[in-house]
Structure 1
Amino acid sequence: MLLALALASGAHAAEVRLAVGSPGGPVAEAVVSLHGATPVVTRTATARMDQQHSAFVPGVLPVQAGTVVAFPNRDNIQHHVYSFSQPRQFEIPLYSGNKAAPIRFDRPGVVVVGCNIHDWMIGHIVVLDTPYFGKTAADGHLTLDVPPGRYTLRVWHVRGSGAPLERTLVVPAAGTSATLQVALAPTKDDVRGNDRLRALQQKFRQLKDPSP
């Protein structure tokens, strides 16, 4: 994956323009974040991950730690949403419409969300301890406004090897430009109904029915 970025300074913040690509073309839905040396206080914000046409929409949802996420079910069938991911484990039993209470995500990390009824439904909530983040568009581009300073730049993608790729980035007071190249480990393009989710679903069913 090729990450090209240019920096254009402003009075109080720099505009960071990013283009994420691979040999196959632009990379969409890559979560890019900038982490400074000073800890960021979590804040209460709201977001949503819909269930529509038996899929999570959006499939990848980046949020800042402290965000409350709603899971509206827009299908005419019920879903059973859950996660066993360490940053936030939760379960929303069979429901439809807007009946489910929102879930608060306080701990940074990637939360894999599934549906116990429909094996192919997989969503990812990327919880970040920084307000400086975004998700690349279909053309692989993203723009962030950040104060000048030294940051750790992280790039996460659902087809990556797990941990986000990291680079050190200095955002100066004066305009400059730079190009970074990072490698995205090749994986299968289709992650629907993958082995990890099947294992989580089996664990869920065993917890619900402990009988042999």
Structure 2
Amino acid sequence: MNKHLHLSFALSLLSVWLFSVSLHAASLHAEVVDSQGQPLANAVLSLRTSSNPKPVPATAIMDQRSRQFAPSVLAVRSGTSVSFPNSDNIRHHVYSFSLAKRFELRLYEGTPSEPVIFDKPGVVVLGCNIHDWMLGYIYVTDDPWFAVSDEQGRLSLDSLPAGSYTVSLWHPQTPDMLPQAAGSLVLSEGDSQQRFTLAVQGPAIQAAPSEPVSAFGDAFKKARDAAQ
């Protein structure tokens, strides 16, 4: 009988602790727009504090569908293992010369047996040696909280500790392809709504070019120059 009482008491304490944690959690619902106030898709918003939690092993997927990288922008924390499945019925040859991660996955179908570990923060520009118009980005950050905006420029971050944060924004068309400081943010318990403006250069990136265009060279040059 005593064992059952001890177990019941322990479960009650756990429930109280979980409820207390949930009460102190914050959620950020953000909208990212360009200088003209238009929704900005594929923008990365990241948050950091003075005492960031330690990274834990994580995995992510950069797929290839309809001869495009999917997603076109993937954000990961440093140390993440990324798999590169090929969902097309043709072979691809994925590679990057970016200083943050140089690698090559030679002509293949299906999924390579080993993922690629992205252990250094920075921008990694992806290309396909067979299909020159294929262009993707992996944004590697040391910040523990981050998200990528959707087609409406919206993103959400949940289960955040209430407190003060430093905000950074990035997009493939930011000047010199560098992250931009976006000020500070204080989040209290519950939901917060924020709107951020990010200046970008050039026309909006198309998810799927209407005709094969070799964009990899210019994108790689920008990433290389930014890292020097």
TM-score (norm 1): 0.79
Equivalent residue, structure 1, for 2:30: 18
Tell me if the contact between 1:114 and 1:197 (Cα under 8 Å) persists in the aligned partners.
no
One-letter amino acid of the counterpart of residue 131, structure 1 = P
One-letter amino acid of the counterpart of residue 187, structure 1 = G
Q: Return the match for 1:171 from 186, 191, 209.
A: 186
Q: For the structure 1 residues 19 and 101, does the alpha-carbon distance in structure 2 shift closer, same or farther, using more than 3 Å as the test?
A: same
| SS at structure 2 position matched to 1:26 | coil
Bigger share in helix: 2
Tell me whether 179-188 or 113-122 shows the greater mean CA deviation. Answer: 179-188
Matched, 1:28 2:41: yes
Q: Deviations over 1:52-105 (max 9, x none)?
A: 111111111111111111101112221111111111111111111123421011
Alpha-carbon distance between aligned partners in 2 of 1:34 and 1:116, rounded to the nearest angstrom: 35
Q: Return the match for 1:91 from 104, 125, 149.
A: 104
Alpha-carbon distance between aligned partners in 1 of 2:164 and 2:60, rounded to the nearest angstrom: 29
Tell me if the contact between 2:32 and 2:197 (Cα under 8 Å) persists in the aligned partners.
no
Matched, 1:41 2:62: no
Aligned identity (percent) is: 41
Question: Root-mean-square deviation (CA), in Å?
Answer: 2.6
Alpha-carbon distance between aligned partners in 2 of 1:59 and 1:18, rounded to the nearest angstrom: 20
Q: For the structure 1 residues 188 and 138, does the alpha-carbon distance in structure 2 shift closer, same or farther, using more than 3 Å as the test?
A: closer
Displacement after TM superposition at 1:150 (Å): 2.6
Tell me if the contact between 1:108 and 1:128 (Cα under 8 Å) persists in the aligned partners.
yes
Aligned residues: 191
Matched, 1:61 2:74: yes
Alpha-carbon distance between aligned partners in 2 of 1:40 and 1:131, rounded to the nearest angstrom: 7
Q: Return the match for 2:167 from 133, 139, 153.
A: 153
Tell me whether 178-187 or 50-59 shows the greater mean CA deviation. Answer: 178-187
Q: For the structure 1 residues 74 and 175, does the alpha-carbon distance in structure 2 shift closer, same or farther, using more than 3 Å as the test?
A: closer
Bigger share in strand: 1
Equivalent residue, structure 2, for 1:207: none
Instruction: Give unmatched runs, 5+ long, in structure 2.
Output: 1-21, 207-212, 223-228
| SS at structure 2 position matched to 1:151 | strand
Tell me if the contact between 1:45 and 1:67 (Cα under 8 Å) persists in the aligned partners.
yes
Displacement after TM superposition at 1:165 (Å): 1.6
Alpha-carbon distance between aligned partners in 1 of 2:139 and 2:89, rounded to the nearest angstrom: 28
| SS at structure 1 position matched to 2:67 | coil
Displacement after TM superposition at 1:173 (Å): 3.7
Alpha-carbon distance between aligned partners in 2 of 1:176 and 1:61, rounded to the nearest angstrom: 25
Equivalent residue, structure 1, for 2:135: 122
Displacement after TM superposition at 1:128 (Å): 1.6
Matched, 1:193 2:208: no
Q: Which has the larger radius of gyration?
A: 2
Displacement after TM superposition at 1:38 (Å): 2.3
TM-score (norm 2): 0.74
Q: For the structure 1 residues 197 and 94, does the alpha-carbon distance in structure 2 shift closer, same or farther, using more than 3 Å as the test?
A: farther
Equivalent residue, structure 2, for 1:205: none
| SS at structure 2 position matched to 1:196 | helix
Alpha-carbon distance between aligned partners in 2 of 1:48 and 1:176, rounded to the nearest angstrom: 29
Displacement after TM superposition at 1:172 (Å): 4.4
Alpha-carbon distance between aligned partners in 1 of 2:27 and 2:104, rounded to the nearest angstrom: 39
